[in-house]
Structure formats: structure tokens, C-alpha cells
């Protein structure tokens, strides 16, 4: 590891990944994306919490999921953040 990277990582605390309990508290679902076919979906947190517990890290869910479109196990998971209405570029003047 280079000297710069050592300095940067030494100054910053590691960030803990979001848990299912964090998402439930914020009223968010889990966004799932299949790397093989591109299929994506949102999954509610309540059934996942009932099965895995509230402290289960969201990024680790992908290893336990299977795509409903192509049956692949190459699934990525993250919080399903709300859309912010992007796509519009503000023009001033």
C-alpha cells in the first residue's frame, strides 16, 4: 500500500454497511440487480428481517439471492434510495 493511501485510510474511520434494520427504520426497500441479465427489482425488508435479522448487512444479501428472470446467483444489493427527480438540468440566466 502506498504512503498516500495509508495516510488517507488512517484518517478516516471505516464505514459500516447499511443493515436491514437501518433500511426498515428509514422506510426503504432493498434494490437488487442481476449482473448476468440486468433484471432488477425492489424487495421489502420485513420478510428479510424475519428470516435474517435486523443486523444483516445489505451488501451481503446478493450472495443469498437468485434472479427471478434468469436464475443466476450473481446479484448485487443496495438500499433502494428514492428518486430525486433527476434528469432535468437547471439553467440560469
List per-residue pLDDT tens for the chain, 93 residues long.
566 666 655 555 567 899 999 999 999 999 999 999 999 999 999 999 999 999 999 999 999 999 999 999 999 999 999 876 555 544 444
- pTM for the model stands at 0.73
**Which domains does the chain show, CATH number per domain?**
17-79 (2.20.28)
CB 5: neighbour CB atoms within 10 A? Answer: 9
Amino acid at each position: 500500500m502506498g504512503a498516500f493511501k495509508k495516510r488517507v485510510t488512517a484518517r478516516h474511520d471505516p464505514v459500516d454497511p447499511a443493515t436491514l434494520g437501518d433500511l426498515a427504520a428509514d422506510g426503504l426497500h432493498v434494490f437488487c440487480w442481476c449482473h448476468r441479465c440486468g433484471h432488477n427489482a425492489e424487495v421489502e425488508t420485513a420478510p428479510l428481517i424475519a428470516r435474517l435479522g435486523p443486523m444483516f448487512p445489505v451488501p451481503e444479501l446478493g450472495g443469498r439471492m437468485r434472479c427471478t428472470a434468469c436464475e443466476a446467483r450473481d446479484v448485487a444489493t443496495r438500499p433502494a434510495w428514492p428518486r430525486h427527480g433527476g434528469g432535468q438540468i437547471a439553467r440560469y440566466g
